[in-house]
Amino acid sequence: MALSELMASVPLGMAIIGLDLRYVEVSEAMAAMNGLPREAHLGRLMAEVLGNEPSARDVLRRVRRVLETGEPLVGVEIVHREPGGGVEGTRVYRASYHPLRREGEVVAASIYVEDMTERRRVEAQRDAGAARERAVREQALRETQEAVRARDEFLSVAAHELRTPLTSLRLHLQLLQRQVGVAQPALSAELAPRAQVLERQLSRLGSLVNTLLDVSRLAAGKLSLEPRELDLAQMVRQMVDAFAEEFSRAGSALSVHLDGPLMGSWDPLRVEQVLVNLLSNAVKYGAGRPVEVSLAGEGHTAVLAVKDHGIGISEDGMARLFGKFERAVSERHYGGLGLGLYITRQIVEAMGGSITVRSAQGQGSTFILRLPTWPQPPRQPEAR
């Protein structure tokens, strides 16, 4: 195929420039970029064809350099602004300049030019779209963070406010029981079951309020530990005894395997809280089937397992379980705030330990707690 035919049809800006800086060949596409017919280029000086625009002078300078040095220039960007053309009149080209040699001597230069205007426009639009999306996402994140902060603040205030009347209620109930007991022992005995119901409900309310307080303390990074030497085996035995009635009411047989004594340094109130949470979950989600509690020492670690044969947890549930307000059951069937395991994990990790779960839907769950026996000085959990 003849060179002139190639030049007429190739969809690329191409030109060959002689040593005298005149056009030897030019493709139709390049001619169109320059805004003149192809014939108007051939044999004419580049300076005449391109005019005196700054971008035209740059092109000329580069061609001269390639002809003089014999070194190619690849991927040079040219921005051409039509005078008074604004954004629409601006075109972006990408040009490469190569020397053409005959018997080692540079005899001409070739130019290849690609019009990048459309591609750059699309890229700019995409970048602007991405920036807009980023801004929307960032705004949504800020709003969510603000909502979470407001919720935590509300929880903290509400929990503190609820504590005062509760304490007062408890005191007055005790006083009332004592006074009636002294003045009318027969009536006191008659009222005892009702008083017990009141006490139970008050202590339930109290533990709900404490849960809320713990959550707000954790959010503020203010959960403190007061470790002291204790026998974990004895503690587990006591807690299991305290839960015996609840398990029997639920119809769950309870078996206990303890490797006692198991000495270590832990905060007794916090360990108790963790045990209460795991045992009450075993009662609640154990479906009245047997529950096994075991404790053993493994080197410097105490390993406690609470195994039930109840409703179990789905895979999706297991991934969320230890998060704040996360639940894997419907509120209609099981009451709860979804905070017990969140607080449990925070406490356990603050003690340098870990809590994990093995479970499958409908096949029961085993919660495994690992606590170092003599941990490093207690550290504060991070605010979450």
Query: Could you list the residues that contact ligand ADP (CB under 6 A)?
Result: 277, 281-282, 285, 308, 310-313, 317, 321, 327-329, 336-342, 365
Nearest to ligand ADP of 93, 285 (CB atom): 285
Ranked by CB distance to ligand ADP, the top (closest) residue is 336
Token pair belonging to 264: 């270590």
Instruction: Please report how close the Cβ of residue 272 comes to ligand ADP at its closest, in angstroms.
Output: 15
Rounded-to-integer distance, Cα 167 and Cα 261, Å: 36
For residue 299, give the nearest of 373, 206, 224 by alpha carbon. 373
Is 281 exposed, middle or buried, given 0-12, 13-18 or 19+ CB atoms closer than 10 A? Answer: buried
Instruction: Please report how close the Cβ of residue 208 comes to ligand ADP at its closest, in angstroms.
Output: 10
Nearest to ligand ADP of 312, 375 (CB atom): 312
Nearest to ligand ADP of 152, 308 (CB atom): 308
Instruction: Please report how close the Cβ of residue 320 comes to ligand ADP at its closest, in angstroms.
Output: 8
Instruction: Please report how close the Cβ of residue 125 comes to ligand ADP at its closest, in angstroms.
Output: 47
Nearest to ligand ADP of 273, 281 (CB atom): 281
> Does residue 93 contact residue 77 with C-beta atoms inside 8 Å?
yes
Nearest to ligand ADP of 50, 306 (CB atom): 306
For residue 299, give the nearest of 370, 208, 223 by alpha carbon. 370
Instruction: Please report how close the Cβ of residue 184 comes to ligand ADP at its closest, in angstroms.
Output: 40
CB burial string 146-171: b at 16+ within 10 A, e below: eeeeeebeebbeebeebbeebeeebe
3-state SS, residue 322 = coil
Q: What's CA 314's distance to the chain center, in Å? A: 21
315 contact partners, CB below 8 Å, separation of at least 6: 361
Nearest to ligand ADP of 265, 366 (CB atom): 366
Nearest to ligand ADP of 34, 344 (CB atom): 344
Rounded-to-integer distance, Cα 115 and Cα 13, Å: 8
Instruction: Please report how close the Cβ of residue 164 comes to ligand ADP at its closest, in angstroms.
Output: 24
Token pair belonging to 166: 């509760």
Instruction: Please report how close the Cβ of residue 374 comes to ligand ADP at its closest, in angstroms.
Output: 28
> Does residue 55 contact residue 80 with C-beta atoms inside 8 Å?
yes
- What's the number of CA atoms in the CB half-sphere (13 Å) around residue 316? 3
